[in-house]
Chain A
């Protein structure tokens, strides 16, 4: 089926949904193509404590459900599907999902980012069998077990603290001796007696692929090159995220690290705007994603208004 739209939004995290709220309130009847992870990264976090307006914190999935409802209330149309390809070579732009083609005057990209993995063969083979990229999903299965968290950012330390609800011991493996995570997260993890740290170190290998389960880790100290073996029942990977820009390669200018290059929220193609983590190498917060989502919707509205004005003027001549 072919669908004609003024504004189409790719992604349903806080960037995409905020853009939808603004575009819908401007009567642009936006369509949101939700993507595989509807609701975005916040749907796999636990407590969100830094989103203004929630003094007691709010659960990530709840926050996203509320944003979804708010966007829906003003007439946003949601498609539960993934964009398979986009054609940005001429306006209107074309987007293909598994069942529809959407033709749109403006495209707002809020496809966000996905979790990076270590890149070990054993990691891939044991994914779902003791290796996980989602502590809130899988922590439950590690009651009274010993688990490791790899990484040193907010996600890693939040997951480490979260996992102490279930696991008997949580060890954080981090390649440096300082943390990128916020001070409050570091303090909370350090004060938790179940959380231990192995610093200046990386995971070299995850055992045991032959047994089809995680039994231990080989960890290399980057300063001494010494390799030590550790018993483990589970490993949670939290080493950061990569922007979801595969669809736009060769069509939009990207940065060296693969993010969409933006000026404000404008991309290299007129009529295409980008918001949230897909274009943000620096802040990567729910609130900054919401902020740029708002900016993208306003820019979209102004562009469409200016173009309509132009058409009217030409007709009047």
Chain B
């Protein structure tokens, strides 16, 4: 019974911690303010092999596991969530569906570039009218003359419009099942395919140094071989990927929550009020103690979910719990950290303001907090 890290995981954690502080922290605020994608930082993360962490070496991966990815996400998010979500989406949404369900040809074609970070992949599930209710998918893909013709709109798709985006895998209705419900499949659409265009530009509250787009498909034609996995299994086969993704977002949330503690402890030792550093006051100490307790318990929750995942045991409930408590911890800590910083917490020159803006989406993306509660309730046997 131990949640201690192995020496290899600890070495990785420390390496990414060092990288985040040395290479990301000094430059990311500027990208964030400009709403610019940090290509240089992402390239450096690629050179470290972060995008290949959970993939086998034969496809250009690092031969690590999903927990290694989680540790990297946590350490990056301690400093900045935009680069962390770029990694998370690139790995668990961009490359993972191909690794897990793709054909040998698809793996050979796409994984080496995705693993190196030279190219990014995206996953298009959400639509203007279908978020948590993924069954409401309206995008269609029709098999015509040996090719899929995709039509529809996808919303809020991370990594889908960068200069290095190579592909997006979209869920689409490919027919009707015997029971009358829509048959949903996953289709891989390479960037630059005619009929695949970026839609409206978003103005986001946070994650401003990450890439998010609306995608518009108009008679977009790709080869029949671009089906990813089994026809009609498009949604079902990604449920596991979504469970994994929840653990990853939990790790990212823990990173943000811990970053709030780091910044608050530092500031409490520097900022003086009424003749003493504010760290002397119980009002500040208790706030920071609560923040640390939230980050710590949320970390244990995601370690537990990850350890079950790696052991091949059921982890759906633990993933939902980890995502729920970690995103809550991130939001609560961001609110408290900005309070510790007072007026400066409202200024974008300090990271806590960025943490505040970045925290809210964690309670929404990859399954809202309400969806997590629903999953937990179902796992407890309550009626679906």
> Do the two shown chains form a genuine complex with each other?
no
Which residue numbers of A lie inside 8 Å of B, CB to CB? none
